Amino acid sequence: MKLFGEIIKEKREEKGLFLRQVSALMELDQAIISKLERQERKASREQVLKFAEIYDLNPDDLIISWRSDKVAYELMNEENAEQILKVAETKVKYLKKK
Amino acid sequence: MKLFGEIIKEKREEKGLFLRQVSALMELDQAIISKLERQERKASREQVLKFAEIYDLNPDDLIISWRSDKVAYELMNEENAEQILKVAETKVKYLKKK
DNA sequence: ACTGATTTGACTATTTTTGTCAAATCAATT
DNA sequence: AATTGATTTGACAAAAATAGTCAAATCAGT
């Protein structure tokens, strides 16, 4: 189970690309990409999809990774994180119906 | 399973308080409290704890309700919400260790 | 030490969130 | 249907969080 940043870093290296090059492809400053790879900043949904495109990754899988990271970081300092997630699951189902 | 806003609204009514009065106790505009009760705005952690105090609710339980709401609202429009939550659970455990 | 890649941090711009306020709406009562 | 009091709404401003730009610093290999 890898974090989003780890995935896009590994994939970039697999493809043998430099930040500079990805930067050009994404039209995004390389400093930011560096930060995304080290989980220092959160990507936007559009950026995630762009990464999926560039690196030939399944967009849904990448979105799941990105999103779950976000939730996990939000809750990592929370006392009852696990319980919160359980309750959230019920609530999501409930809210989706509405 | 009630949403945070529903809980604080019900409790207020149980105690027979008007928004105006809660507003005074919380030192917070009644318009905002109205919005919190209808889930139109998100409370801050301090506000949640203040509510727990005023309404004699278990702070941890209220935090869980508030936090899980937040997560659920974030994910309610997400295709793979359930999977995201599952992965997030693993990641939380992993991040907590670090 | 030199080169090229990555990381860092200061800065600005943009977006999002928060609270204030007054007016509008709603519900009950007369 | 007019009055009263409670709640809701929406426009606005202040404050906080987030996003991107840039240049300099660091790092790794030769």
pLDDT, one tens digit per residue, over B15-38 is 999 999 999 999 999 999 999 999
Q: What is the DSSP string of A36-62?
A: HHTTSSPPPHHHHHHHHHHTT--HHHH
Question: For residue B43, what is the DSSP state?
Answer: P
The residue among A65, A68, A73 with the most chain B CBs within 10 A of its CB, best to mutate, is A68
Of the partner residues B63, B67, B87, the one whose CB lies closest to the CB of residue A68: B87
> Which chain A residue's Cα is nearest to B77?
A96
- Specify the CATH superfamily of domain B4-97: lambda repressor-like DNA-binding domains (1.10.260.40)
Decide if A91 and B1 are in contact by the 8 Å CB cutoff. yes
pLDDT tens readout for residues B44-94: 999 999 999 999 999 999 999 999 999 999 999 999 999 999 999 999 999
Q: How far B64 CA sits from the closest chain A CA (Å)?
A: 5
> Which chain A residue's Cα is nearest to B75?
A92
Question: Quick one: pLDDT at residue A75?
Answer: 96
pLDDT tens readout for residues A4-37: 999 999 999 999 999 999 999 999 999 999 999 9
- φ, ψ for residue B14 (rounded to 5)? -55, -40
Other beta carbons less than 10 A from residue A20's beta carbon: 10
pLDDT tens readout for residues A58-71: 999 999 999 999 99
Angle between helical axes of A19-26 and A30-37 (0-180°, round to 10): 110
Q: What is the DSSP string of chain A?
A: ---HHHHHHHHHHHTT--HHHHHHHHTS-HHHHHHHHTTSSPPPHHHHHHHHHHTT--HHHHHHHHHHHHHHHHHTT-TTHHHHHHHHHHHHHHHHH-
Question: Quick one: pLDDT at residue A38?
Answer: 97
pLDDT tens readout for residues A32-50: 999 999 999 999 999 999 9
Domain ranges within chain B, ordered by starting residue: 4-97
**Residue B98 above 90 pLDDT?**
no
Question: Quick one: pLDDT at residue B36?
Answer: 98
